[in-house]
Amino acid sequence: MFEMQTQLFEARDIRFGPIDHEAHPEIESRWTHDAEFLRLMELKPARPLSPAMVKKQYESIEKKMDEEKNLFYFTIRSRTDDRLVGKAMLEWISWSNGNAWIVLGIGSPQDRRKGYGSQALEMLLRYAFDELNLFRVSAAIPEYNEAALGLFRKFEFMEETRRRQALYRDDRRWDLMCYGLLRSEWDARANAGEPR
């Protein structure tokens, strides 16, 4: 009899879940009023959103997931109280090439630097490679997002391209780096005894 050894949607402190259309818009709306979060999470211009606007975004995300089948969106929730702490996505999936882009963010400053990002990235990679059978994943990371750069390097993502001075933030230009991880590199982590 087949038995799953590793939880697909749960880690030590967090779990992945679906969107809660009643509770989450208010929480994520507060995140959009935090310029630091938006600049770490988004490449487009920052702007605050009302709960109603966030709810419309959720509806658009779910429609795209159903119709286009190239986006997987997960909420990141605390296991202790089921509180929304972030979001994780595999997007722009090219099924014929086995490629996807990762987007990951922890919303409130008090929830950052607690290991939630590492646990979420581990689950997202496991889902991408072991469940969706993708060949590679990529992430676009601004030069100023040192925490994200450290996280992706910890998981042995390789810097593949650097778009010099591609972003303008706080009266200065920043590079945008694209990092990638191949399935063979992910598998090598398991063979080396690293968590997976």
| 65-103 pLDDT, tens digit each | 999 999 999 999 999 999 999 999 999 999 999 999 999
With respect to residue 69, please indicate whether it lies within any of the assigned structural domains.
Answer: yes
CA within 13 Å, CB half, 39? 13
Q: Give the model's confidence band at 46: pLDDT under 50 very low, under 70 low, under 90 confident, else very high.
A: confident
Q: Is residue 158 part of a domain?
A: yes
The CATH number linked to 107 is 3.40.630.30
In this model, does residue 20 exceed pLDDT 70? Answer: yes
Q: Is residue 3 part of a domain?
A: no
Query: What pLDDT, on a 0 to 100 scale, did the predictor assign at position 6?
Result: 67
For residue 2, the model assigns a pLDDT of 44
* The pLDDT value given to residue 96: 96
- What is the residue range of 149's domain? 14-191
Query: Residue ranges of the alpha helices (H) in the chain?
Result: 24-32, 35-41, 51-67, 116-126, 146-154, 183-191
Is residue 4 included in any domain, yes or no?
Answer: no
The reply to whether 6 falls in a domain is no
Count of domains for the chain: 1
The pLDDT of residue 42 is: 85
Whether residue 63 is contained in a domain is answered as yes
**Is 98 inside any structural domain?**
yes
The answer to whether 63 and 70 are in contact (CB under 8 A) is no
